[in-house]
Structure 1
Amino acid sequence: MEFKSKYPGLTQLEAEDRKARGEANFSAPTTTRSFKQIFAENSLTLFNFINLIIAGFIIYTGSYKNLLFLGVIVTNTFIGIYQEIKAKRNIDALSLLNQAKVTVIRDYEKQEIPQDEVVKDDLILLRRGQQIIVDGIMIETEGLECDESQLTGESDPVDKYKGSEVFSGSFVVSGNGMMQATKVGADSYSYKMTLEAKETQGIYSELVMMMKKMIRILTFVIIPVGAMLMVTSMASGIHLDKAILSSTGAMIGMIPEGLVLITSVALAVGVIKLSQKNVLVQTMGSIETLARVDVLCLDKTGTLTSGKLKVVEAESLGADALGDEEFEMLVASVVHGLDEDNATGQALMDRFSQKKPELSVVSKLVPFSSARKWSATSFEGVGSFYMGAPEYLFDTFEPQQIEKMNEAMTHGLRIIAVAKSEQDIENNELPENLELLGFIYLEDEIRPEAPQTLAYFKQEDVDICIISGDHPETVSQIAKRAGVATSDKKIDMSQVKDEDIPRLVDEYRVFGRVSPEQKKMLVTALQEKDHVVGMTGDGVNDILALKKADCSIVMSNGSDAAKGVADFVLLDSNFDSLVGVVLEGRKVINNIQRVASLYLTKTVFSLVLAAVYIFIASTYPFQPIQLSPISSLTVGIPSFFLALRPNTAPIKGKFLKNVFEPALASGFSVVLFTLSIEVIGNLLNWSYDEKSTVTVWLTGLICFVALHFIARPLTWKIYGLLGALFGIFLAIFIFFTNIFSLVNIFDIKLMLVYVPMMVLAPFVFHKLKQFFHFLLNLEFKKKKK
Structure 2
Amino acid sequence: MEKSKQEPTNLATGLTTSEVQQRVASGQQNDALPPLTRSVKQIFRDNVFTLFNAINLVLGALVLVTGSYKNLLFLGVAVVNTAIGIYQEIRSKHQIDEMTLLSEGVMTVRRDGQPLEVRQEEVVLGDLLLLGRGDQVPVDGIVRETTGIEVDESQITGESDSIFKQTGDAVTSGSILMSGQAVIQATAVGENSFVKRLSTEAKHEKQSASQLLATINRIIKILTYTIIPLGAILFASKMLHGNDLNQSILGTVAAMVGMIPEGLVLLTSVALAAGAVTLARKHVLVRDLPAIEALARVDVLCLDKTGTITSGRLKLAAVKPLGPLDEGGQKQALSAIVRATEDTNETAMALQSALPEVNWAVDSVMPFSSERKWSGAKFRDHGIFVMGAPEFIFSPVPDGVTEQINGYAEAGDRVLSLATAEDVRDHQLVNPTLQGLVLISDELRPNAKSTLRYFKNQDVSLRVISGDNPATVASIAKRAGLDGADQFVNMSQITDEADDGQYDDLVAHETIFGRVTPAQKKRLIAAFQRAGHTVAMTGDGVNDILAMRQSDCSVAMASGSEATKSIADFVLLDSNFDAMINVLNEGRRVINNIERVASLYLIKTMYSVMLTLIFIFMTRSYPFQPIQLTPISVLTVGIPTFFLALEPNYQRLTGQFMEKVMQIAAPAAICDVGYILVIMYLGDLLALNYTQTSTLSVMFTGVIGLFALLLVARPLNRLKIGLVTLMAVCFVSIFVWGGPLFSLASIFNWKMAVIYVPLLISAYPVYYLVQGILGKRVFSKIHWR
TM-score, with structure 2 as normaliser = 0.95
Structure 1 residues 220-259: aligned runs within 5 Å? 220-259=225-264
Distance 1:26 1:713 in 2: 52
In structure 2, what is the equivalent of residue 401 of structure 1? 401
Q: What is the CA-CA distance between 1:400 and the residue it aligns to?
A: 4.1
Deviations 1:187-209 (A, max 9, x none): 33120345689999989954233
Residue 343 (structure 1) aligns with? 346
Alignment of 1:300-339 (within 5 A): 300-318=305-323, 321-339=324-342
Give yes or no for contact 1:205–1:285 (8 Å, CA) kept in 2.
yes
Matches of residues 686-697 of structure 1 in structure 2 within 5 Å? 686-697=688-699
Q: Which moved more, 1:463-472 or 1:231-240?
A: 231-240
Measure, in 2, the Cα distance between the counterparts of 1:7 and 1:53. Answer: 69
- Per-residue CA deviations over 1:129-167 (Å, capped at 9, x if unaligned) read 111122211111222111111232211111112222212
Q: What is the identity, as a one-letter code, of the residue corresponding to 1:538? A: D
Q: Does 1:719 align with 2:721?
A: yes
Deviations 1:679-716 (A, max 9, x none): 11111111111111111111111111111111222233
The corresponding residue for 1:142 is 147
Q: Aligned pairs, how many?
A: 773
* Distance in 2 of aligned mates of 1:187 and 1:455: 51
Q: Decide which moves more: 321-330 or 603-612.
A: 321-330
Structure 1 segment 583-598 matched on structure 2, within 5 A: 583-598=585-600
Shift of 1:322: 2.2
1:618 aligns with 2:635: no
Query: Structure 2, unaligned stretches of length 5 or more?
Result: 1-8
User: Per-residue CA shift, 1:704-739, capped at 9, x if unaligned?
Assistant: 111111122223332332233222222221222222
The corresponding residue for 2:602 is 600
Query: Alpha-carbon deviation of 1:618?
Result: 1.5
Q: Which amino acid aligns with 2:425?
A: E
Q: Is 2:78 the partner of 1:73?
A: yes
Q: CA RMSD in A?
A: 2.1
Contact 1:302/1:558 (8 A) holds in 2? no
Shift, 1:330, TM fit: 2.3
Query: In the alignment, is the contact (CA less than 8 A) between 1:144 and 1:176 conserved in 2?
Result: yes
Q: 1:452 is matched with which residue: 433, 450, 453?
A: 450
1:230-629 superposed matches below 5 A: 230-318=235-323, 321-355=324-358, 360-397=360-397, 400-421=400-421, 423-431=422-430, 433-497=431-495, 498-499=498-499, 500-629=502-631
Question: What does residue 710 of structure 2 align with?
Answer: 708
For 2:278, the aligned partner's letter is K
Instruction: Report sequence identity in percent.
Output: 46
Cα distance in 2, alignment partners of residues 553 and 510 from structure 1? 19
After superposition, residues 5-84 of structure 1 pair within 5 angstroms as 7-84=12-89
Deviation, structure 1 residue 668: 0.8
CA distance in structure 1 between the aligned counterparts of 2:461 and 2:340, rounded to whole angstroms: 42
Q: Which amino acid in structure 1 is aligned with residue 660 of structure 2?
A: N
Moved more, 749-758 or 5-14: 5-14
The 2-side partners of 1:309 and 1:676 are apart by 76
**Following the alignment from structure 2 to structure 1, what is the Cα–Cα distance between the partners of residues 670 and 191?**
56
Instruction: State the SS of the aligned residue for 2:308.
Output: helix
- How far does the alpha carbon of each residue in 1:510-566 deviate from its partner, in whole angstroms, 9 at most, with x for none? 111111011011111111111000101111000000111111111111111111111
Structure 1 residue 641 displacement after superposition: 1.6
* Distance across 1 between alignment mates of 2:206 and 2:561: 26
1:777 aligns with 2:747: no
SS at match of 2:78: helix
Counterpart amino acid of residue 570 in structure 1: L
Q: Distance in 1 between matches of 2:392 and 2:205?
A: 44
Distance 1:653 1:570 in 2: 26
Distance 1:448 1:200, change over 3 A: closer
Contact 2:208-2:291 within 8 A present in 1 as well? no
**How far off is 1:280 after superposition?**
0.5
Aligned residue in 1 for 2:3: none
Give per-residue Cα distances to partners, 1:306-330, cap 9 Å, x unaligned.
2221110011113xx3222222222
Please give the alpha-carbon distance, in whole angstroms, between the structure 2 residues aligned to 1:469 and 1:776.
Answer: 48
Q: Distance in 2 between matches of 1:481 and 1:518?
A: 26
SS of 1:249's equivalent?
helix
Specify whether residues 425 and 5 from structure 1 end up closer, same or farther in structure 2 by C-alpha distance, changes over 3 A only: farther
Match of 1:264, as an amino acid? S
Matched, 1:96 2:101: yes
CA 200–413 in structure 1, closer or farther in 2 if over 3 Å, else same: closer
Q: How does 1:758-773 map to 2 (within 5 A)?
A: 758-771=760-773, 772-773=775-776
Q: Secondary structure at the match of 2:386?
A: strand
| Greater displacement, 467-476 / 388-397 | 388-397
Offset at 1:371? 0.4
* CA separation of 1:146 and 1:568: change in aligned 2, threshold 3 A: same
Whether the 8 Å CA contact 1:147–1:173 is kept in 2: the answer is yes
C-alpha distance in 2 between matches for 1:528 and 1:351: 45
CA distance in 2, matches of 1:779, 1:244: 37
| SS in structure 1 of the partner of residue 285 of structure 2 | strand
1:365 counterpart SS class:
strand
| Greater CA drift, 71-80 or 178-187 | 178-187
Amino acid corresponding to residue 429 of structure 1 in structure 2: Q
